[in-house]
Structure 1
Amino acid sequence: MFKSKTQTQARTNRIGRHLPTSGGLGKTLRLAREQGLETVQIFVSNPQGWAVPTSRPDAGTFVEGAREIGLDPVVVHAKYLINLASPDPEHRGRSARMLAAELVAAGSLGAGFVVVHSGSHAGSGEEKGMRRLVEGLARARELAAEEAGADGAAKPAEPLVENSVGAGAQLCSAFDSLAGVAERAGVRVCVDTAHAYVAGYDLSTPEGAREVASELRATLGDRIALLHLNDPRNGLGSHRDGHQRIGEGHVPKEAWAEFFAGVPGVPAVMETPYATPETDAEQVRLVKELAGGLPLSRQGV
């Protein structure tokens, strides 16, 4: 087993991955069970289009099934088209309305979080973009609360802002910028390890991974609600996104063990390429080992 020099207790990070919903949510639950997931991420509608998520007849079955398996948290990833920081008022308004709809749809599936990209200021300036992002998050939450209240729906999910790779005019590639948005908007965050690496945070050695985890804790603290656990395909500081399976990118297994030791208790969801069901289950087992061992401590239950 890969063990960090600083790990002194059993695993506290719940481990999961993004799963498809094609074929129905029942199939999603079956895959989660077969792969030994403890948390899961899904889309509630086509992430590449503007179609509003619709109510699902299998929502109740999914909520109950996720509870039986012990999937916690259930996470939704927002549409890629959403840009709350856009200088275009029409796109910004559409983004806020769509995020609100996804917060409500996620809540109906028992999801606690919706991960949304921090977006791009599109050349209008970082501070202006950050201000629009904060305002957009507030507007989306307001609209979601109104929609859920009017329909008697479940409590909307909580938005999590994700760090970017820092390409072009993208916001929040730096941890301190992400922390600033989180504090101003009163939200928590999702930290993507591949995004962090290509933005310049060196996870490629055990010492570097330990330092990055320490900086994360110091800068974001309890605002870190979720990890997107991805091995970077592209180089340090390249600002180019790309995900490899854990142990197959730029971060060695020993470094992953050190990183996990520095972020105890934070759920981790892989967004790595699918393989066979057996290989995917092996990947989940590997990550559990890297995070401290197959058994989950009572702190992580």
Structure 2
Amino acid sequence: MLYIGNHTTSSKGYEKMAQQMIANGGNTFAFFTRNPRGGNAKAIDETDVKKFLSLAGDNGFGKIVAHAPYTMNCCAAKENLREFARNTMADDLKRMEYTPGNYYNFHPGSHVGQGAETGIQKIAEILNEVLTEEQTTTVLLETMAGKGSEVGRDFQELRRILDLVEKDHKMGICLDTCHVWDGGYDIVNDLDGVLTEFDQVIGLERLKAVHLNDSMNGLGSHKDRHAKIGEGQIGLEALVRVIRHPALKEIPFILETPNDDEGWTREIALLREEYEK
């Protein structure tokens, strides 16, 4: 089963997000938990959630992937920004329990000159404060392209965060194809090698979701500029190998390509067709 969909907006509500994804040909989706550039979150409508859960069950949806706001920087130098990150993640994880058993993805953050090791420690500190044994949500660290002072630019940095998290069984990884390509991992010519390295450093059992994006830039560019499927430097053939790879069966593939619903519908149909060949 290929679980594929696109990143949509939570302002529509859960039921409408699912309806839009069905119209797009998808059976999973990603959404921001709140304004991606701010801190506001809409109140949860329990009736809306119930309708979504019914619709998702009837249409064979895979796990959905919530995305924390871009403004959430767990390793910020300023304590007020870390407090915002701490409160946001804690609140988001409570809200996620209305749709239990899904994924909550976040960018590890930027150390803003403090150094990667300090950033890693600060990220783990917040995770240790907010993760609970009762939660059913798996929290995903996203692989990053390595621009600026981003933490998570390679598998080793993500591993060091995981090593410091006490409830690490509540943790996983979301691999972004554009980010790892821009970060220097050659998924075009050596996908098996990249996944073998991931397994050796982190463990493939931790890989819970994939952001499926082409890249406007070349291997190792550290730019993070997404391109439409087949229109970038990674290319359609390489991305089809990703969705077909036996190590990645049954996980959600999320399109974050620069598109609208019409464009995502075309991409989902194309990828389904190529997957079935």
Give the share of equivalent positions with the same residue, in percent.
28
SS class of match (2:131): helix
Letter in 2 for 1:274: N
Distance 1:286 1:27 in 2: 24
Match of 1:80 in 2: 70
Kindly report which structure 2 residues correspond to 1:254-293, keeping only aligned pairs within 5 A, or say none. Answer: 254-260=237-243, 261=245, 263-265=247-249, 266-277=251-262, 279-290=263-274, 292-293=275-276
How far 1:286 sits from its partner (Å)?
2.1
The 8 Å contact of residues 34 and 40 in structure 2, kept in 1 or not, is answered as yes
SS of the residue 1:234 aligns to: coil
User: What CA deviation, in whole Å up to 9, does each residue of 1:205-233 have, x standing for no partner?
Assistant: 3x333332332233332111111111112
Structure 1: which 5+ residue stretches go unaligned? 1-11, 146-154, 295-301
Q: What CA distance in whole angstroms lies between the structure 1 residues aligned with 2:261 and 2:120?
A: 41
CA RMSD of superposed structures (Å)? 2.2
The answer to whether residue 184 in structure 2 is matched with residue 200 in structure 1 is yes
User: 1:84 touches 1:133 (CA, 8 Å); kept in 2?
Assistant: yes
Per-residue CA deviation, residues 225-248 of structure 1 (Å, 9 max, x unaligned), is: 111111112222221112112111
CA contact (8 A) 2:214 2:231 kept: yes
Matched, 1:106 2:89: no
Partner residue in 2 for 1:177: 157
Q: For residues 1-301 of structure 1, what are the structure 2 equivalents within 5 Å?
A: 12-57=1-46, 58-110=48-100, 112-142=102-132, 155=135, 157-185=137-165, 186=168, 187-203=171-187, 205=188, 207-220=189-202, 221-260=204-243, 261=245, 263-265=247-249, 266-277=251-262, 279-290=263-274, 292-293=275-276
Q: Distance in 2 between the 1:281 and 1:258 partners? A: 20
- After superposition, give the CA deviation of every residue in 1:76-134 in whole Å (9 maximum; x if it has no partner): 10011111112322211220110111112222134611101110111111111101111
Q: Distance in 2 between matches of 1:195 and 1:68?
A: 34
Describe the superposition over 1:133-163 as per-residue Cα deviations: whole angstroms up to 9, x where unpaired: 1111121224x96xxxxxxxxx452211111
How far does residue 194 in structure 1 lie from its aligned partner after superposition? 0.6
Alpha-carbon distance in structure 1 between the residues aligned to 2:113 and 2:246: 35
> Aligned letter for 1:101?
D
Aligned equivalents of 1:53, 1:157: Cα separation in 2: 19
User: Structure 1 171/43 Cα, relative in aligned 2: closer, same or farther at 3 Å?
Assistant: same
Question: 1:75·1:111 contact (CA, 8 Å) conserved in 2?
Answer: no
Q: C-alpha displacement at 1:52, in angstroms?
A: 4.1
Structure 1 runs (4+) greater than 6 angstroms displaced: none
Report if the CA contact (8 A) 1:35-1:284 is conserved. Answer: yes
Structure 2 spans left out of the alignment, 5+ residues: none
Secondary structure in structure 1 of the residue aligned to 2:113: coil
Distance (Å, rounded) in 2 between the aligned partners of 1:276 and 1:78 = 22
Contact 1:108 1:156 in 2 (8 A): no
Q: TM-score, normalised by structure 1?
A: 0.81
**Preserved CA contact (<8 Å) 1:199 1:237:** yes
Q: Indicate conservation of the 8 Å contact 1:53/1:105, yes or no.
A: no
Measured in 1, the distance between the counterparts of 2:223 and 2:70 equals 16
Segment of structure 1 superposing worse, 268-277 or 69-78: 268-277
CA-to-aligned-CA distance 1:150-183 (integer Å, 9 cap, x gap):
xxxxx45221111111112110110121122223
SS where residue 108 of structure 1 aligns? coil
